[in-house]
A and B are shown apart, each in its own frame.
Chain A
Amino acid sequence: MPTARPLSPHLQIYRWQLTMVLSIIHRATGVALAAGTVLLIALLLALAAGPDAYQTVRAFCSSWLGMLMLFGWSWALCFHLCNGIRHLAWDTGWGFEIPRAYLTGWTVVGASLVMTALIWACVFAQGGAA
């Protein structure tokens, strides 16, 4: 809507900071995970439908595209989960001090990467998603 009134500054004005980046990533991973529910639906419907349908979904999951998507979604889930807990802590009023917001922010980044690594270590320890 065109208007002569001044607009509040947006992303191109502010210096990039961890807290804003994590906020953006939280939204982005949320949207990505919502899109990822399509695979969840497909998997459940296939498991309900029978062996042939299930095998088709499994074959897709173990293709390089499927693996790439699963890898992305696994990290998105870990990040959204960890940062979601950070948000829930904020909802109780805890952790708004700037140093603490940075500390918990970096903790979320580290924890999401470690969790993702552990998940895929478990996958490959079982001999891969084949």
Chain B
Amino acid sequence: MTSALLFACVGAILFALGLAGVALIGHLLRRIFAFNVMGSGTFLILVGLAQRHGSADPVPQAMVLTGIVVAVAATALALALTRRLHALTGKLELPADEP
């Protein structure tokens, strides 16, 4: 097994774990963590798959940097909304669907 494939497989597992977390977990903070795990999986695949013949490829690294910035912004927005929801309802879970 080459190291590129190893990175890709670990990344895929992380992505799947994160995706399951976002879909299944009710607690909002844990859900936000799960989203970040999902993102890390993607970044690992991006960087891992692209390193060919042992040398690193700068383009995916730049993409991952951009991706991290986006993920941080999204996490901040999610946390701000979660705090607001907690202040309004006292709960850290989304209310059940309205009838």
Q: Does A pair with B?
A: no
Tell me the A residues contacting B by CB distance below 8 Å.
none
Tell me the B residues contacting A by CB distance below 8 Å.
none
